[in-house]
Amino acid sequence: MSDGDTARAPAADDAADFAVVGTDTGVGKTVVTAGLVGWLRASGVDARAVKPAQTGHPPDDDAGFVADACGTDAAATCLERLEPPLAPAVAADQEGVDLSYDTIRVGCERELADAAVGVVEGIGGLRVPLADGREVVDLVADLGVPAVVVARSGLGTLNHTALTVEALERRGCAVAGVVLNEYEGASVAERTNPDALAEMTDCPARTLPPLAMDDPADAVAGVREHLPADVFPTE
């Protein structure tokens, strides 16, 4: 770690448990989660990502990607895995699997307690059904953790992101900020979206450019290079 990285590294005593949620599926939650967990671990913090449920498995394995990015299986865990690439509640119904919301919630609480900093990665968007009539937003609210919202950078993200922030705040969930992923500034919409979102949501809106991703570890290097240390929620 260079001197500049050390100066920007989050302090272990300050970092708090948090969730990384998205405005939709495929917006980059796993890359951001891997980057933030890897950054914390490189700074000496025993951080761990927690995936409440993984669908589309195999081949999809978000916890596996985070572990590979951080170079250790201790960096991530997944509580439930289902094969259909659907919302967890729908995938469980398709497979005839008894998926329990309380089991997922208790498992997340256990993993958060076992790590110095636990990072819960959402599934799709906030209204994705988890189990027993509960959704991703219910889990974030029940865990009582602040959220980092990952969103697309281009046209249309103002609506989706503002609604996501509003949904979290209505449930009493603090929003630490927004990360506009794969930001290139190639259009007027992209260039104006960060300031517009900051004004609309009263949350900091940060940008993360497209990362090469030749190796999972590139997520950690890219997030550390392009996001400020205050992206991390603190105690």
pLDDT of residue 14: 82
CATH superfamily for domain 20-228: P-loop containing nucleotide triphosphate hydrolases (3.40.50.300)
**What number of other Cβ atoms are within 10 A of residue 55's Cβ?**
24
Q: What is the reported pTM? A: 0.94
Residues annotated as part of the active site: 51
Arithmetic mean of pLDDT over the chain:
95
Q: Where are the domains of the chain?
A: 20-228
Q: What is the pLDDT of residues 55-113, one digit of tens each?
A: 999 999 999 999 999 999 999 999 999 999 999 999 999 999 999 999 999 999 999 99
Average pLDDT over every residue of 112-116: 98
pLDDT of residue 9: 56
11 falls in which pLDDT band (50, 70, 90)?
A: low
Q: What is the pLDDT of residues 211-232, one digit of tens each?
A: 999 999 999 999 999 999 999 9
- Give residue 16's identity as a one-letter amino acid code: A
pLDDT of residue 1: 38
